[in-house]
Chains A and B, each alone.
Chain A
Amino acid sequence: MDRTDEMLVDLMGDLDVELLADDYMEADLKRKKTAWLAAFFREKSWRRDDAVESAQIGVQGITVSAVETAKEKKRPRHRKLEHSPLSYEWGEAIRTDMGKRLRNGVHSVKRRAAALWGFVSGVLTMALIALSFLALLDKKKRAV
């Protein structure tokens, strides 16, 4: 910062309040919220079934790390709070609560379906083995 910069920063504090009746900061906040929503829907990370995602939210920054399946490479992503619209509380609520619940729900249904299918296929296999065994016994009896 050169001296003119320093002087301007210093003097700005004494400016007439009428000159400071702007809404630049409010506009920035609105824009960030919109950008966050766009990023949220674009990201879709919570819809990915084959990825285990963990979000670490700190006061000074947000680190979102994604640990993906063996098919995909491990790819950590780091975002700073100031650059990420994810810092909004309501956004976090959506992301961490609704998104997580939805993803967990999908996972839960898939897990249950997999368990049921495993059980059914197990029973069928056992029945097939039992039938084969019975058929063998029957064949032996007839042979005797």
Chain B
Amino acid sequence: MTEEEIIELIKRQEDAGLAILAQQYGKLLTYIISGILKERAGDIEECVNDTYVKVWRNVEKFDFGRASLVTYLKVIARNTALNRLRDVKRHEDYRAGAEISEFSDTVADAAGSVENAVLRKERARLLGNLIRGLPDRERELMLRKYFYLQSSKTIATAMGMTVNAVDTKLSRLRGKMRAAFCEAEGT
């Protein structure tokens, strides 16, 4: 079944659309989410289901002229899994009696303040421009590492590189990004 037909089914709120979505993209979403949540099997399954539900509820908001259904699915799956990972880690930190990580604080602050939201949007735009300007392989490296949160080993296997080469290249790219952000923010 084509993407357009699936979208039509979901827009008409027909259950078959969801079933076909699961059948056609279930493995892909499980793969993406399991790369982020690692071996938390229960959470992986829940995130996959949450992804379907989010697509089901927000299908009208998607602009399929800009990106395909599978792209939206991947973005939703990644963000859902990342949010779940943060929740799980926060919960684990709390249970272990440790302080909540600095990163979680940053995220909580970012979500809570309008000023931070504007800053965040600006940074995302800048990052988008930086990524757009990268050569294909470097862009793939960045997306695999920071969007799909793949390990250096997985990236190395997928891209036919050594783990060291991946880490070195990523380190350089990170430096480049850091410099660009500092320059843009005048620090």
Residues of A within 8 A of B (CB): 1, 4-22, 24-29, 31, 59-61, 81-82, 88
Other A-B pairs, 14, CB within 8 Å; known A24-B140, A24-B143: A1-B103, A5-B146, A8-B142, A10-B106, A12-B143, A14-B120, A15-B128, A15-B147, A18-B66, A19-B131, A20-B75, A25-B32, A26-B28, A31-B158
Contact B158 A8 (CB under 8 A): no
Contact A10 B110 (CB under 8 A): yes
B158 proximity list for chain A (CB < 8 A) = 24, 27-28, 31
Contact A60 B27 (CB under 8 A): no
Number of B interface residues, CB 8 Å?
45
Residues of B within 8 A of A (CB): 27-28, 31-32, 34, 38-39, 41, 63, 66-68, 71-72, 74-75, 78-79, 82, 103, 106-107, 110, 120-121, 123-124, 127-128, 131-132, 140, 142-144, 146-149, 154, 158, 174, 177-178, 181
13 pairs of residues in contact across A and B, judged by CB atoms under 8 Å: A1-B103, A10-B107, A11-B124, A13-B82, A15-B127, A15-B128, A15-B147, A17-B66, A20-B74, A21-B68, A24-B140, A31-B158, A82-B34
Which residue of B41, B140, B177 contacts A22 across the interface (Cβ within 8 Å)? B140
A5 proximity list for chain B (CB < 8 A) = 146, 174
Known: A6-B103, A24-B140, A28-B158. Is A15-B131 also a contact (CB below 8 A)? Answer: yes
- Least CB distance from A63 to B in Å reads 13
In the complex, residue of chain A having the shortest beta-carbon distance to the beta carbon of B83? A13
Which residue of B34, B63, B67, B103 contacts A21 across the interface (Cβ within 8 Å)? B67
Which residue of B28, B106, B120, B124 contacts A25 across the interface (Cβ within 8 Å)? B28
Contact A11 B123 (CB under 8 A): yes
A29 proximity list for chain B (CB < 8 A) = 27-28, 31
Known: A4-B174, A17-B66, A17-B67. Is A12-B39 also a contact (CB below 8 A)? Answer: no
| A17 vs B128: C-alpha distance when bound (angstroms) | 10
A24 proximity list for chain B (CB < 8 A) = 140, 143-144, 148, 158
- Least CB distance from B107 to A in Å reads 6
A60 proximity list for chain B (CB < 8 A) = 39, 41
B131 proximity list for chain A (CB < 8 A) = 15, 19
| A17 vs B32: C-alpha distance when bound (angstroms) | 16
Which residue of B31, B66, B127, B149 contacts A28 across the interface (Cβ within 8 Å)? B31
